[in-house]
Amino acid sequence: MILFYDLETTGLDPDTSRIVELAAVEGPGARTAYLGRFDPGVPIPPEAARVHGITDEAVRGEPPFVRVAPDLQRLFEGRVLCGYNIRRFDTPLLDAELRRAGQPGLDLAEVREIDLYRVWSALEPAGWPGGMTLGAAVVRFLGRPHREAHASEGDTAVLPALLEALSAEHGLAESDLLELSAPPSEVDRAGKLRRTGEAVVFDFGRHAGEPVSKHPDYVDWMLRADFPEETKRILRSLRAKG
């Protein structure tokens, strides 16, 4: 069964941000599987609060994530996860939070995900006049404005209908959605690396399209710079293999 979910957070970096709100729905009728806020244990930056409206005052008295982490581990484990831009952000952040809370976390190499942003981007690479946000997707496929944007409950509520409409218009089965969300060429979720045949190449910057193995100095720079930890972990593994 697909579990639809969305997070509101303290920032945009899955390695350092904290979850302040999580909503998940499942099954016929998209029943609520979880809805709650958390005290992140750190101040919520004003720029984040301006987006989702959740302030330090709003989470005062809410439980820390660690208190409900065992329940969330059970809820998410072994499920097909569906959301919007979850491969790059929500799923890595949820995995990090679960691990910080002493749980096994999510196996990022094996977890099955339907990322509706990735699917739409692959099917319509020319983009959409309103951008490729969740709100724009609701307009494009559901024909109405998304009035509850940037609230996890509202964002999650539109996901089942969005999945159904997108799949119907393009004639997609679940297997198609899974493959479009994580194409065989993908190496890291941040999209800094990709696979071409047997080689792993850079997918950005001045060495785009060139094998990682040919530029050890560039790899060293990436390991020192502000790149996602998953990307760095893969680079270390590639370097160890020679």
Domains and their CATH numbers in the chain: 2-181 (3.30.420.10), 193-241 (no CATH)
Structure tokens belonging to residue 241: 């293999």
Specify the pLDDT at position 135: 95
Specify the pLDDT at position 242: 75
Burial of residue 107 (number of CB atoms within 10 Å: 0-12, 13-18, 19+)? exposed
Helices (H) and strands (E) in the chain, counts: 10, 7
b (16+ CB within 10 A) / e for 160-175: bebbebbbeebebeee
Report the chain's mean pLDDT, rounded to a whole number: 95
13 Rama class: left (phi>0) / alpha (psi -120 to 50) / beta: beta
Specify the pLDDT at position 28: 76
Structure tokens belonging to residue 42: 């750190």
Cα distances from 115 to residues 124, 134, 181, 215, 227, in angstroms, run: 14, 11, 5, 32, 22
Q: Which residues of the chain have pLDDT under 50?
A: none
Quote the longest CA-to-CA distance of the chain: 53
Instruction: Determine the Cα–Cα distance for residues 131 and 135; give it in Å rounded to an integer.
Output: 9
Structure tokens belonging to residue 202: 């850079």
Looking at residue 213, its amino acid is: S
Cα distances from 120 to residues 34, 51, 82, 138, 144, in angstroms, run: 26, 23, 13, 11, 17
Residue with tokens 């820390």: 64
Specify the pLDDT at position 15: 86
Contact (Cβ atoms closer than 8 angstroms) between residue 42 and residue 13? no
Question: How are strands ordered across the β-sheet holding 2-9?
Answer: 31-37, 19-26, 2-9, 80-83, 112-115
